[in-house]
Amino acid sequence: MLEKYYRWLRFNIFYLGNPPWDTGVSPPELETFLDSADAGFALDVGCGTGTNLLTMAKEGWEVVGMDIAWLSVLKARRKLRAAGVDGRVIHGDITGGFRLEVSFNLVLDIGCYHSLNQGQRAHYRKNLANWLVPGGTYLIYAHQRTSPDVSHGISQDDFSAFTKFLDLLWRVDNDEKRPDGGGGFPASWAQFIRLDSMKPTH
Ligand SMILES: C[S@@+](CC[C@H](N)C(=O)[O-])C[C@H]1O[C@@H](n2cnc3c(N)ncnc32)[C@H](O)[C@@H]1O
């Protein structure tokens, strides 16, 4: 419980200013996906100030964003409103137990999963399985775990847990530490498809 408030506080403090990841530009990996896909319903988990919500909405997607930080939610709502596009931005914890009334063709995570602890990751994966339509896409960018002694970062165990209910289409690891928006961490991009027949196991 304390961890949750600490997380809420930490990210709100970041959004009092301009956090380093908040570049205002969508990454090419998302743009490439949008170029190749039919528009549908998209959920951006840990949506920050809504840059990627805006990009997707402009491509015809019905967008929902969710973030634990009130300030980023306010900024994201303002960004969508200023651009004159529709979209819903929910203040919430993506590891929580609440249900959304729609399922999504795309769930996007740029930089959220990698900071969760192990228990939160299991809840997240359960939610992800409920939120994605069969055949839906999960697109993730995450810092890699650089040592077994730290909790931050995505590991091979995480990829294995995802592939219990998702098919991995591709994964690209950038092993060098990039100073730009990558927080100095090596990082991975991956695209998964939700399998029809398999249920998540935890
Ligand atoms: C590194 S930032 C990336 C923000 C955005 N995706 C972007 O690319 O600009 C991670 C975001 O995840 C949010 N976040 C962290 N833990 C969360 C949780 N449990 N539920 C919802 N959002 C969370 C943070 O508030 C922050 O906005």
What pLDDT was estimated at residue 50? 98
Q: What's the rounded Cα separation, in Å, for the pair 7 and 137?
A: 27
- Alpha carbon 50 to chain centroid, angstroms: 12
Rg, the chain, Cα only: 16
State which of 112, 115, 141, 189 you would mutate to test the pocket of ligand 1, scoring each by most atoms of that ligand within 8 A of its C-beta: 112
For residue 67, the model assigns a pLDDT of: 97
DSSP bridge partners of 132: 104
Residues present in the chain in total? 202
Which domains can be identified in the chain, with CATH numbers?
A: 2-14+42-194 (3.40.50.150)
Distance of CA 192 from the midpoint of ligand 1 (Å):
20
> Which residue in 69, 116, 114 sits closest to 90, CA to CA?
69
User: Which atom of ligand 1 is least distant from the CA of 109?
Assistant: 6
Which ligand 1 atom lies nearest to the CA of residue 124? 19
Q: State the distance from the centre of ligand 1 to the C-alpha of 88, rounded, in angstroms.
A: 16
Neighbouring C-beta atoms of residue 51, cutoff 10 Å:
22
Q: What is the Å distance from ligand 1's center to 130 Cα?
A: 20
Task: Tell me what pLDDT residue 94 has.
Answer: 94
Q: What are the tens digits of pLDDT across the range 154-181?
A: 999 999 999 999 999 999 998 765 545 5
CA angle centred on 112, ends 40 and 199, rounded to 5°: 60
CB 106 within 8 A of CB 131: no
Residues framing ligand 1 (Cβ under 6 A): 7, 11, 21-22, 46-48, 51, 66-69, 72, 93-95, 110-112, 115
Ligand 1 pocket test target in 18, 64, 67, 114 with most atoms within 8 Å of CB: 67
In angstroms, the Cα distances linking 63 to 51, 110, 141 are 12, 15, 19
- The protein residue whose alpha carbon is closest to atom 24 in ligand 1 is 46
Q: What is the pLDDT of residue 185?
A: 82
Higher per-residue confidence, 198 vs 67: 67
- Two structure tokens written together for 198: 């398999």
Between the CA of 49 and the centroid of ligand 1 the distance, in Å, is 9
Max mean pLDDT range (6-20, 42-56, 180-194) = 42-56
Q: What is the average per-residue pLDDT within 21-32?
A: 95
Average pLDDT over residues 147-153: 87
State the average pLDDT over residues 112-141.
Answer: 96
pTM listed for this prediction: 0.94
